[in-house]
Amino acid sequence: MTPVAIRKMERRKTFNEYIAKKRLKSTKQRDIIFDEFFSNYMGKHVTVEELYEDIKKRHPFIGFATVYRTLKLFMECGIASERNFGDGKARYEPVRSEREHHHHMICNQCGKIYEFANNQVESCLNQIAKLNEFQLTTHKLEIYGLCSDCKAAKTA
Amino acid sequence: MTPVAIRKMERRKTFNEYIAKKRLKSTKQRDIIFDEFFSNYMGKHVTVEELYEDIKKRHPFIGFATVYRTLKLFMECGIASERNFGDGKARYEPVRSEREHHHHMICNQCGKIYEFANNQVESCLNQIAKLNEFQLTTHKLEIYGLCSDCKAAKTA
DNA sequence: TATTAAATGGAAATTATTACCATAACGAAA
DNA sequence: TTTCGTTATGGTAATAATTTCCATTTAATA
């Protein structure tokens, strides 16, 4: 089994447990959305609309509102995270394991999104939280600027 | 003169220069909005609506769209920064000097916003950017969690 | 299977932000 | 200062993302 598939199973477990705990229901639609999201959008940053359009191809009966609601559900149980890169629409990403926690560099020119991870930053943040008696649950870090390609294009 | 007043003057200079460079016009409305924003919202995170409502009290002839446009102008010339704390509305904050660059901790419970600064984090980010040949212009860092007050209230 | 609570789809409502446009104000040049 | 071209303004309408509503369907439990 691939690492991606293993991760998917782990998320599925979390999701099922959340559903059970909150006395929610497991539905066909939720299964479909889960599958699409965790199969095709690992490491991506998908818009609700994009996900909806994609799902609609194979499952035309699924409603827009349901996709919204389901992504929110994924957020609540911690298997998806919401990002906001300043273009007015929320983006969602399947969370990976703690070990793979990462952040984003966004190019102001071409809009491309690069990922990076850095242990030193993470431990800094933990220290800061501790120092302020703040119980950290999540954090977001975004770097905006010019990617190497656009930088090169500019000087050329 | 207080430090706040000095800062305000510096921002004013930047703003005037930007206006001159871009052949824009200096208007009564822009003056009023500038003054309100930099006098009363230093260190705050104000919504367009809040700022508009506040200004309207003393200057009822100022329009909503103008406040929007002017804040965007402040952004363009780098004297204001936009924040997005996940409640669907953009917030604006007068930028301080580089030395005072800072980030935010947001309490998921009470919504209070705490500020912090940390040199180690900053230098980490610069290194990361350099390593990826990314030309950094800005960055945002937010910590979400439970503030000490809410944590105390929960266990009590 | 019957019952109850939750979920769904589609459309309408809401919210934040932007665009439009006729009028007003600015600023450079005469 | 007056004129003239340009930019800004205010009010409203339009747009775009997200949420709510509600009648109907579906899942879970007894």
pLDDT in tens, B89-124: 999 999 987 667 889 998 888 888 888 888 888 889
B1: closest CA of chain A, how far (Å): 32
A129 CB-near residues (< 8 Å, 6+ apart): A135, A136, B105, B143, B145
Interchain CB distance below 8 Å, B84 and A82: no
Give residue A78's pLDDT band: very low, low, confident or very high (50, 70, 90).
confident
Give residue A138's pLDDT band: very low, low, confident or very high (50, 70, 90).
confident
Q: How far apart are CA A118 and CA B105, in angstroms?
A: 20
Q: How far apart are CA B137 and CA B78, in angstroms?
A: 11
The dihedral built from the CA positions of residue A17, A20, A21 and A25, taken in this order, carries a sign that is positive
Q: How far apart are CA A140 and CA B60, in angstroms?
A: 39
Q: Residue A115: which region, alpha, beta or left (left: phi > 0; alpha: psi -120 to 50)? A: beta
Name the residue facing A148 among B124, B133, B140 (closest C-beta): B133
pLDDT at A55 over 80: yes
Q: Is the CB of B25 under 7 A from strand D?
A: yes
Q: Is B84 an 8 Å CB contact of chain A? A: yes
Domains, chain B, with CATH or none = 3-94 (1.10.10.10), 101-155 (3.30.1490.190)
Q: Is the CB of B46 under 7 A from strand D?
A: no
Chain B residues touching residue A143 (CB < 8 angstroms): 125, 128-129, 134, 136, 138-139
Q: Is the CB of A29 under 7 A from strand C?
A: yes
Q: Provide the pLDDT for residue A17.
A: 95
**Span A19-46, pLDDT tens digits:** 999 999 999 999 999 999 999 999 899 9
Interchain CB distance below 8 Å, B108 and A137: yes
Question: Which chain A residue shows the shortest CA-CA distance from B116?
Answer: A128
Contact B44, B79 (CB under 8 A): no
Contact B34, B15 (CB under 8 A): yes
Q: Pick A29 or B127 by higher pLDDT.
A: A29
CA angle A91, A93, A94 (to 5 degrees): 155
Q: Is the pTM of this model over 0.85?
A: no
Q: Is the CB of B45 under 7 A from strand D?
A: no
- Cα torsion at A54, A58, A59, A60 (round to 10°)? 80
Give the count of beta carbons closer than 10 Å to the beta carbon of residue A108.
14
Q: Pick B86 or A83 by higher pLDDT.
A: A83
Give residue B54's pLDDT band: very low, low, confident or very high (50, 70, 90).
very high
Q: How far apart are CA B95 and CA B126, in angstroms?
A: 19
Q: How far apart are CA B46 and CA B55, in angstroms?
A: 12
Q: Provide the pLDDT for residue B31.
A: 97
pLDDT at A98 over 80: no
A136 CB-near residues (< 8 Å, 6+ apart): A125, A126, A129, B143, B144, B145
Name the residue facing B124 among A105, A124, A136 (closest C-beta): A124
Q: Provide the pLDDT for residue B63.
A: 96
Q: Is B119 an 8 Å CB contact of chain A? A: no
Q: How far apart are CA A92 and CA A78, in angstroms?
A: 12
Bases of strand C lying below 7 A from some protein CB = 5-11, 15-20, 25-27
Q: Is A136 an 8 Å CB contact of chain B? A: yes
State how far Cα A118 lies from the chain centre: 18
Of the listed ranges A73-77, B138-142, B151-155, the one predicted with least confidence: B151-155
Tokens 């559900």, residue located: A73
Q: Is the CB of A147 under 7 A from strand C?
A: no
